Amino acid sequence: MTHGFRTAYAIARKDLRTELRTKESLNAAASFAVVILVLFSFAFPLERDEFYAISGGLLWLVYSFAGALIVNRGFARELPNDCLDVLIASRAPGWAIFLGKAVAAFLLLLIVEFICLPVFGLFYNIRWTDSFGSLVLVIVLATWGITVVGTAFSAVTVNVRVRELMLPVLLYPMIIPLLIGAMEATTVLLSGEAMAGDNLYSLQLLVVFDVIYTALALYLIDYVLVV
C-alpha cells in the first residue's frame, strides 16, 4: 500500500512538472475558459441580479469544458515511445497509476478554475469573495468528481483515434448529477445564502458522487488498463 501511494505521488509529480514546463493543456484550457466567460458576458445582456440567478450554471459549464481539455492529456501524455505500455507492465499498481494521473489533473484544473474566478467576477459584476471559503469547498468537491471520471475515461479512450471527440461524449452524460449539484450550490453561495437546510442537499450530492465514482474507478482501473 505504501509503495502504491509513493508511485501515485511520483506519477502526479512527473505529470505536473511536465505540464508546468510545456503548459500545453494548461494554456489551452485557461485561454478557452476565459474566452468563453467573456463571450457569455456579451451573449447574455442581463442585469446584475439576473446574472446571480444563472451564475452557477455559467461557471460550471465553463469549468466542465476546461476539465475535458485537462483530463484528455492524462494518459495520452504517455503514448510517445510506448511509455504507457512500459508503465502498465511495471510493478506499479493500476490504482496508483490512476490516482497519480487523477491528482495531477485535479490540481491543474484547480489552477484554471482559480484563474477564471476573478474574470468571472469582473465581467459579470458578481462578488464571489464574500463566500470564498464555502465556494472553495464546492469547487474542490466538484473538480475531484470531474477529474476522477474524466481520468477514467481518458484511460478508456487513450488508444482510440478520435479520443478528443470520444472523451467528452462519454464524460458529460456521466457527470450530469455532479454538475447539477455544483451549479445549485454555487448559485446559492454567490447569491449570498448559507449552505444550510435544504441547500445542503447539493453539497451532499457532491460528496456521494465523489465517493462512489472514486471507489468504482479505483476498483475497475486494472481491467481498463489491461484491455
This prediction's pTM: 0.90
User: Which three cell numbers, joined as nine digits, stand for 110?
Assistant: 484547480
Instruction: State mean pLDDT over 174-190.
Output: 91
Average pLDDT over residues 12-30: 86
Ordered DSSP codes for 76-113 = HTTTGGGHHHHHHHSS--HHHHHHHHHHHHHHHHHHHH
Instruction: Inform me whether the pLDDT recorded for 145 exceeds 90.
Output: yes
pLDDT at 40 over 60: yes
77-120 per-position pLDDT tens digit:
776 666 676 777 777 788 888 898 899 999 999 999 999 998 88
Rounded distance between C-alpha atoms, residue 186 and residue 41, angstroms: 18
Q: Is the pLDDT of residue 46 over 70?
A: no
Locus of grid cell 464555502 = 134
pLDDT attached to residue 48: 64
Q: Please enumerate in sequence order all residues whose Cβ is within 8 A of that of 95, keeping only pairs 6 or more positions apart, or say none.
A: 4, 218, 221, 222
**Whole-number average pLDDT of the chain:** 84
